[in-house]
A and B are shown apart, each in its own frame.
Chain A
Amino acid sequence: MNKPLRKVSIFCLVLIAALMVRANWVQVVKADDYANNSHNKRAVYADYSHPRGDFLVENRPITGSIETDSKKYEYQRTYTDGAMYAPVTGYKSQFFGASLLESIDDSILSGDDNRLFVRRVIDVITGKERRGGNVALTLNSKAQQAAFQQLTSQNKTGAVVAIDPATGKILTMVSTPSFDPNKLSVNDSKAQDQAWKALNGDPTKPMDNRAIRTTYAPGSTFKLVTAAAALASGKYSPDAATQFDSPMRYPSSTKELTDSAGAERCKNATLKVALELSCNTVFAGIGADLGDDAVKKQAEAFGFNDFGAYDFQKPAEDTKNNLDVPSRVTASKFPSNKTDVGATMRASIGQQSVAATPMQMAMVASAIANNGKLMQPYLVDSLKAQNLETIEQTQPKELKQPVTPEVAGQLRDMMKGVVEEGTCKTAQIPGVEVGGKTGTAQRGVNNSDRPYAWFVSYAKAGDKMVAVAVVIEDQDADVERNDISGCKSAAPTAVAVMRAVLGK
């Protein structure tokens, strides 16, 4: 019986060997796949086993990491002024993942980043607790606060984006109503689940990031783009009278386009006056005159259509064209209206299907303020190690040149005119060069919905500059549906931000 016994012994060893090979397969070859599977909560627990790094605004942390008594989630993310910074930081939840910068810079914040490897090893050797790296933001805390206060004190739904035109640094990014990300990082699955459901079911959509991920009809603020196209064409100059009738009839239609500033003032008005008074007829006429392609080309030069997919959630076909700040910005769009002159006319005054994010309109103002150069907007100034040593510094980068310096100068003059003599004199700041453009985008069938109020502006004082875009969805009911609402509802916020940035 010994012969078969020996064979059976070998068979048993083969069984064990098979187990060993299998163990190597699952623990070495497939280990990373399994360890990083989204259903593997262990990765999440590991993430929470040490303090997370912080976001810094002007070198002060706006987040924290506190110890809990849970064994699985040993640390809990905390946010100071969470709602104010939520459109920038996003949330970091034990159960619902992370969003925005919390997600994008996760490897730095968690400390997993390879650039933090040496520091991690040193910490292990010296017996220090592991800690994540930090992310320094470009935000201006006073401007951020001013914008947030302006919107929330009146329960407004809207967004503010302010950019430093010279560098592209994003100084303000506010979206209201906002949410407190602490609710999604509290170490209590039930409370979090409730908060998650409440936030997602809230009709005011507090989790929407309106600054970069909601597109609005830009309304009259788009006239800046049309004006740029007009000046760039060489056919128009700021102070030459135009030849457009007011009110103006759409081709092959009985409908008329009117001017709220009055037909007499807009008829044959100069480009500068037309912008100051926000004459629809002049800019619609220019659109029809230059043609759809010319206006579209100018819009695309500022960034419309140029960046990524229209839906940020869908992967862009060509990812190099995404606008990431580094949170992805939803594309603004200017659709073609080649066969329909009436549509081009409406698009030229920011109606039709033109859609822009507040970020996009801030970029328009930014390029104009920066002599036509559009800088890549960015939120992360630098990535810092645990000891605040900088490991990566973001360098300002020129994105493109939508207009020549000459045209940019003319546009600035015209925008100054809006504030000094035009639709929004209240936006003046003593001792500061301020240029702006109001907008009221009409919505709904026969304009039945409340319009959006826009104010796009720039300000300069000494060597400081700022470009701001403000959009507000729900202006007061008593405000008339004209350009004044943009000035009345949105401009004060822009002014507050500009003052905060410039220190005036």
Chain B
Amino acid sequence: MSNTTITPQSAPNRRNTELMMLGFAVLVPVLAYANIGLAGDGRLPAGLVKYGLGLGLLAFGAHLVVRKFAPHADPLLLPLATFLNGIGLVLIYRIGLEPTRGQPKAIQTAPTQLMWSALGILLFLGIVVFLRDHRLLQRYTYTAMALSLVLLVLPIPFPAVNGAKIWISLGPLSFQPGEFTKIIITVFFAGYLMVKRDALALASRKVMGVYLPRGRDLGPIVVAWLLSLLILVFERDLGTSLLFFGVFVVMLYIATERTSWLLFGLALSATGAALVGSIEPHVKSRVHAWLDPLYYYDLPKPSLTDSDQLAQALFGYGSGGILGTGLNQGYPGEIGFAANSDFILTSVGEELGLTGMMAIFMVYALLIERGLRTALAARDPFGKLLAAGLSVAFALQVFVVAGGVTGLIPLTGMTMPFLAQGGSSVITNWALVAILIVISHTARRPAPPTVAGEVSAIQNSRGGRRRRAESPVFDQPLDPADADELAGPTPVHGSPLDITPGAGTPDPGLSGAGAGSPASESGRSGDVPSPPSAPPDALTVPGGVPGVPPRPAAPPGAPPSADPMGPRGHSQ
């Protein structure tokens, strides 16, 4: 691990890289937009300049704010999100040019989506400006739980749209609260698991080489499972249900490092899926369509839940082939309803071909991996869990939607992040990226050039963070999570390799109680760059994670790590 990346003076904050990438992220959609007009009636579409300037200004504004308020954030997150949002707008515009199957005339929804995108970017800016430290969210762990429960049950009294009860409508506006819940519930999971991970990880019996959780520790996972089953039954929303449960299980695994949780979660979700798949007609017909996409054409009398949408999507991919028909030269309207939301990827496949599909998947993969990188780089367990949870939620959503519309897995009815038409979705995803940016800024921020105790210097160097630093959230040790990374192979208490993040706080996650105590302040010494003469640290810190400053060895004789994973040892 190169130490140069952590020297504040020379640390490249990559903002210029971001700006350059943003240029591409704006240019490509603008050219695609021009392409649509040229392929249609041979002229550049009206409002090309307006659209280009609009997207460009939004992106540039976002860049400036990131430059100012999160200068050390990952440079790829913003360009990737801008690119996907821009391409999404272009695709929505293109699909809106023609009536879809069963529609009397074309409805252009791109302007609405542009408005939602602008709102999403504004929310992004708001989060980057005002959420200066993601740990603030930790305070609202149980508020988040309550809020997500409310949001989840909210759509139940509202009428089902296309078979799923995931909408709430207030007058002319309608929302999909499930989208917002994605972030809020991840905040809850992160906060909850940070507190409980010790208990969940520690107590277990080993049966046939697998550590089985204790019966009473099964509580949370069973509750999450039941909840997702209830979503499935009451809202008929397979996607959201799968997403929440999947995110919970993965975060549980990350928090406890217990493979048994994964196996357990897998078993539970398989049971749940089989159960619901065999009862719920809505889900049943989708499983049918997945097993035999062309089944619809063999039905003598298709019922209301039967659909040939997947078949039409596959036809679209087939007609698109490797290079695609070219924008505005295919027939995405054949998909019927949801052509510009759930099924928007089909238009990519048809008009941009396999080439375009691979490119889009690549961009999603990059975005997800940058998110997970952020989790790796984060110095606090809450940040790690939150970044990981959000990235995994994003990844699962991409997989579930793209897998559904390509026939890899049964169709679940969710929107393609950033690409698809839908205000709730685009706003949520901008918020998600904003939180990742905040976490990555915090993680990649160069460590202050001071030693433990010189708090004021740290705070000055961060500019105006003093007030926040006094808030209880920040009084916890910054990095118990990395402690387990740094824990050497020798679980001897007081060894130089044993990290003492806090002053004897048994559960670092609960250390918010120790407000302003000198002990917790001293925990901030974790930010101090390690002297070059600390080879054991350098060896145990995973290589190649930029911006993660190695921790200095704890003072000898410090209390043993409360982190149960420490003693288990991690030899990298």
Contact = CB atoms under 8 A, between A and B. Distances in A.
Contacts of B381: 1
A41 B333 CA distance: 11
B274 interface: no
Interface string B326-359: 0000110010000000000000011001100110
Contact of A1 (B257, B353, B373): B257
Contacts of A16: 361, 364-365, 368, 395, 398-399
B198 interface: no
For A18, A32, A41, A42, the residue with the greatest tally of chain B CB atoms inside 10 Å of its CB is A42
B255 interface: yes
Nearest to A15: B399
Contact of A5 (B316, B319, B388): B388
Interface string B485-518: 1000000000000000000000000000000000
A26 B257 contact: no
Given A15-B395, A22-B403, A22-B408, A3 B319 contact: no
A39 B308 contact: yes
B385 A1 contact: yes
B375 A5 contact: yes
A267 B311 CA distance: 73
A28 B376 contact: no
A12 B485 CA distance: 22
Contacts of B330: 42
For A5, A18, A28, A36, the residue with the greatest tally of chain B CB atoms inside 10 Å of its CB is A5
A9 B331 contact: no
Contact of A19 (B315, B320, B353, B403): B403
B319 A34 contact: yes
A71 B41 CA distance: 11
Contact of A24 (B257, B312, B354, B391): B354
B321 A31 contact: yes
Given A1-B384, A19-B361, A39-B308, A26 B399 contact: no
A188 to B, nearest CB: 15
B398 A4 contact: no
A152 to B, nearest CB: 40
Interface string A67-105: 000011000000000000000000000000000000000
A23 B331 contact: no
Contact of A27 (B357, B385, B391): B357
Interface string B385-401: 10010011001101100
A282 to B, nearest CB: 57
B335 to A, nearest CB: 11
Contact of B317 (A6, A15, A27, A71): A27
A227 B98 CA distance: 68
A12 B294 contact: no
B317 A9 contact: no
B402 interface: yes
A235 interface: no
Contact of A28 (B311, B321, B365, B384): B321
Contacts of B564: none
Contact of B321 (A2, A15, A35): A35
Contact of B315 (A1, A22, A24, A40): A40
For B255, B388, B482, the residue with the greatest tally of chain A CB atoms inside 10 Å of its CB is B388
B315 A3 contact: no
Contacts of B376: 2, 5-6, 9
Interface string B240-262: 00000000001001110100000
Interface in B104-129: none
B567 interface: no
Contacts of B392: 8, 12
Contacts of A8: 250, 253-254, 372, 388, 392
A34 B408 CA distance: 15
Nearest to A32: B318
A503 B253 CA distance: 93
A37 B310 CA distance: 14
B139 interface: no
B451 interface: no
B331 A72 contact: yes
28 contacts: A1-B255, A1-B384, A2-B481, A4-B257, A12-B392, A12-B395, A15-B395, A16-B361, A19-B406, A19-B408, A20-B361, A22-B403, A23-B354, A23-B361, A26-B317, A26-B407, A27-B353, A27-B357, A28-B354, A30-B314, A31-B319, A34-B315, A34-B317, A36-B318, A40-B319, A42-B334, A42-B350, A72-B331
Given A27-B322, A40-B318, 14 more contacts: A1-B254, A1-B384, A1-B565, A5-B254, A5-B375, A6-B542, A8-B254, A9-B369, A13-B369, A16-B361, A19-B406, A31-B318, A36-B318, A39-B308
